[in-house]
Every structure is written in structure tokens, then in C-alpha cells.
Amino acid sequence: RGMPGGTQGVAGHTLFAEPEKDEEKVKERLSKEGFDGALVFRVVSVEKTQTYVSPHYAARGSFYGYYGEAYNSYSTTPGYMKEDTTVIVEALFYVLPEMKLVWSGVSESLNPKSTDKLIQDVVRLTEEDLKAERLIGAPAGQKS
């Protein structure tokens, strides 16, 4: 069952002063506040890999000077180590009050520019998927 258009999300950290580990307390609070669903994100892994990028050699000069000066003249880009960071995030969407898992997804981000940008991108992609599955509606004034 989908949520109606115009539904607003509330960040979970605003509901509790400290992270709440008691599932019954969380369920009770969400029910009391009238929530229809809960979307949970968790970082599955952050992996760093290093790759060696070989030097690059390129001849310089014009075509006509190729056998002369250009033959012995080339530019070099030295080899270097490149580090990549891959962040894997899992998203789980539960329908309340049953706390029934109705959707899950995993995203993989390569070299995110910042934590804020990563969060924005993962939330946007999750929203698109949930709308495509008709689990949430479009914002008020838009067709879903």
C-alpha cells in the first residue's frame, strides 16, 4: 500500500533524544505520532582501494617533424597511486503499524564528494524507486 502524495518525512533522530534500541518503544512512538511507514538507512561498508596508474608517454611535435625532432621528444605523465572509496548503503522500507518490510535496496557510491552529497543522492534514488513501486506518492500538486 502506498503513502499519499504530499507525505512528509521526519528524521528519526528528531524523535528521540538518544538512539532508542527498544523496538517496542520505537513502534509505540511511531504509532502514537501517526506514522504510516519507516525508511531506515544503514552503511553496510566503506572500502578503500588503491590502484597504480601507469606512466603515459606521448610524442610531441608536428607530423612533419615526426622523424626529426619529435622522434626524440615526448612528454611523460608519471605513474601514481590512485585511491578510490566505495560506500555501500542499504535502505529498508517498513509499513506501520505492522513493521512489515515491503522494500529494500542497496546503493553503491564511488568516491562521494561529501557525506551530505552522498546522503542527498541516496535519498533521491530511494525516493525514485519507492515512487516507481508506488509505495509512496508524488509531492502535493504532482501526479505520481
- As a whole number, mean pLDDT of residues 70-84 equals 76
Q: What is the pTM of this model?
A: 0.70
pLDDT at position 8 over 70: yes
Residue 69, pLDDT score:
52
Decide: 10 and 29 in contact? Cβ < 8 Å.
no
DSSP string, the chain: -PPPTT-----GGGT-SS----HHHHHHHHHHTT--EEEEEEEEEEEEEEEEEPPEEEE-S-STTTTTTGGG-EEEEPPEEEEEEEEEEEEEEEETTTTEEEEEEEEEEES-S-HHHHHHHHHHHHHHHHHHTTSS-PPTTS--
pLDDT tens-place string over residues 34-71: 888 899 999 999 999 999 998 887 766 555 555 555 45
pLDDT at position 2 over 70: no
Neighbours of 122 (CB within 10 A): 20
Q: Which residues contact 14 (CB under 8 A, 6 or more apart)?
A: none
- In the structure, what pLDDT confidence band is assigned to residue 89 with cuts at 50, 70 and 90? very high
Q: Work out whether the CA dihedral 118, 122, 125, 127 comes out positive or negative.
A: negative
Residue 1, pLDDT score:
44
- What percent of the chain has a predicted confidence (pLDDT) above 90? 42
pLDDT tens-place string over residues 104-135: 999 999 999 999 999 999 999 999 999 899 88
pLDDT at position 100 over 80: yes
